[in-house]
Structure 1
Amino acid sequence: MTDIRQLSTYCGIAAPIMSVGAVTLATILAPPETFTWAERSLSSMGRYGAPTFPLFNGGLIASGLLGSPFVWRLWIASRNTVERVGIVLLAITVVGMIGVGVFFLDHNELYLDTSLHGLAALTVFGVAPFASWVYATGATLAKDALLAITSFWLGIVHLLGWLGWLVLPGGGFDTWLWFAVPEFVASVAFGGWVLILAVVTLRREEHGSSEPAAVDL
C-alpha cells in the first residue's frame, strides 16, 4: 500500500513533468504576437489576455503546489545539515515558481499596486542553481557521489545557459533578445534535477535500500 511518503515522492516526479510540459506546450500554442523565442520572455505567455495565460500560469502554480509535498519528503530523508539547507533553497525556488504564476506579467494592472513578477522570477532563476550546489555538497558529505555530481552539474547548466545568452549575437542585458532561451534551459535543468531526486528517492523506497552513510554537521 502506498504511504504518504511514497505519494509525496510521486508528486516529485509529476511536478517537474507538469511544469516543463506546460511551458513547452505553451511555446507551441502561443501565437507570434504574444511569444517568439527571439523577442519575448517565457513570462510573455502568461501575460493577462494572452491565449496561453491559463496554461502557462496554471501549469506553474499547479506544479509548484504538487511539488511541495516532495520538498517535505526530501526533508525527512535528509542526511545532514547541508542537505537540509539545499532543501530550504529548493523550497524557496518552488515558492518563487508559484509566485511567477500568481504574480503574472503586468498583474499590477489588475491587482496590487506593485509588480512582484520580477521578484518571483528572480527567486526561481537566482536560487535554483544554489539549491543544486548546496544539496550536492550535502550529498558529497553523505558519500553519495553520483547524486552529488548530478546535482552539481545540473546547477552548472543554469550558469552556462545565462552565460551563453550574454554572448549570443543580439543577446545580453542591452537588448533582452533571446531571453526565453536561458529561461527555458534553466527551467529544464531545475525540473530535471527535481525529477532525478524523486526517482532516486523512489527507488530507495521500493528496494528498501539504506541511505548512504550520513555525516551530520
Structure 2
Amino acid sequence: MADRIRRLATAAGVCSPATVLLTLGVGAALATGYDWPAEPFSVIGATEGAAALAFNAGLVAAGGLALPFAWRLWTARSRVSGGLYALLGASFAVAGLFPMGSPLHAVATVIFLVAWLLPWIAGVADWRAGRRRVGAAQVALGTAALAVWLPYDLGLRRAQVGYGGAELVSILAVGAWSVWTALELWRADRTDGATAAPSTA
C-alpha cells in the first residue's frame, strides 16, 4: 500500500503541470477577445462564461494535484523542495479561487515567483553532489524562468515576448523540472526500491 501511495504521489508531479498546460490551452481557446501573448493568462479567469469557469477550475485542480508531489519531494528529496512545490500548488489554487482583481490573486503571483527557486535549488544541490550535468540543466531551467522577464522588467517593449508569453515560458520551465524530477523518483523506486531519488535537493 505504501509503495502504491508513493507511486501515485510521484505521478502527480507529471499530472499537475500537464493540467496547468491543458487549462491554459482550453481557457485561451474559449475566451473571446483574449490577446495572447500580450495579455496575462489571468485575464481569462476574470471574464465570464465557460472560459472563466474552465480556467479557474483547472487551476484549482492543478494546485490540488501538486500537493501529493510536494509530499513526495518532502519525504524523498528535501523539505525545501517539498515546501516550495507546495507553495507552487497553492499559487495555482489561489489564482483559480480568487481571479484577477482580487487582492489574494496578487499574493498568488508572488508565491509563484518564489516557486521559481525550485530548479535552482535542486540544480545546485545536484552539482555539489557530483551530478554536474543534471545540476547545470536544472539551473538552466530556473534561469530561463527568470530571464524571459528581464526585457519586460527593463522596459524593452520591443524585445519582450509579451506578459502571457513570459508566463508560458516560466510555466514550461518549472513544469519541465517537475516532470524530470518525477521521472527520476519513479526510476529510483523501480530499479532499487528506494524511497529517495539520487539528488540531494
TM-score band, normalised by the shorter chain?
A: 0.7 to 0.9
Q: Which residue of 1 aligns with 2:85?
A: 90
Q: Which residue of 2 aligns with 1:195?
A: 179
Match of 1:157 among 138, 144, 148: 144
Structure 1's 50 and 122: CA in aligned 2 closer, same or farther, altered over 3 A?
A: farther
- Taking only the aligned residue pairs, the percentage that are identical comes to 27
Could you tell me how far apart the structure 1 residues matched to 2:200 and 2:97 are?
38
Structure 1's 44 and 50: CA in aligned 2 closer, same or farther, altered over 3 A?
A: farther
Larger mean CA deviation between 197-206 and 21-30 belongs to 21-30
Q: Which residue of 2 aligns with 1:111?
A: none
Q: How does 1:48-63 map to 2 (within 5 A)?
A: 48-63=47-62
Q: Which residue of 2 aligns with 1:19?
A: 20
2:71 aligned counterpart, secondary structure: helix
Match of 1:167 among 150, 153, 156: 156
Q: What is the TM-score with the length of structure 1 in the denominator?
A: 0.80
Q: How does 1:35-46 map to 2 (within 5 A)?
A: 35-46=34-45
* 1:6-34 C-alpha deviation (Å, 9 max, x unpaired): 110111111111111211222222211xx
Could you tell me how far apart the structure 1 residues matched to 2:126 and 2:139 are?
10
Runs of 5+ unmatched residues, structure 2: none
Runs ≥4 residues deviating over 4 A: none
Could you tell me how far apart the structure 2 residues matched to 1:56 and 1:146 are?
37
Total equivalences in the alignment: 196
Query: Over aligned residues, Cα RMSD in angstroms?
Result: 2.4
Q: Which has the higher contact order (CA 8 A, sep 6+)?
A: 1
Q: What is the TM-score with the length of structure 2 in the denominator?
A: 0.86
Q: How does 1:59-138 map to 2 (within 5 A)?
A: 59-78=58-77, 83-107=78-102, 115-124=103-112, 126-138=113-125
1:87/1:131 contact within 8 Å kept = no
| Greater Cα radius of gyration, structure 1 or 2 | 1
Deviation at 1:77, TM superposition (A): 0.9
Structure 1's 213 and 68: CA in aligned 2 closer, same or farther, altered over 3 A?
A: closer
Structure 1's 146 and 38: CA in aligned 2 closer, same or farther, altered over 3 A?
A: closer
Structure 1 position 144 matched with structure 2 position 131: yes
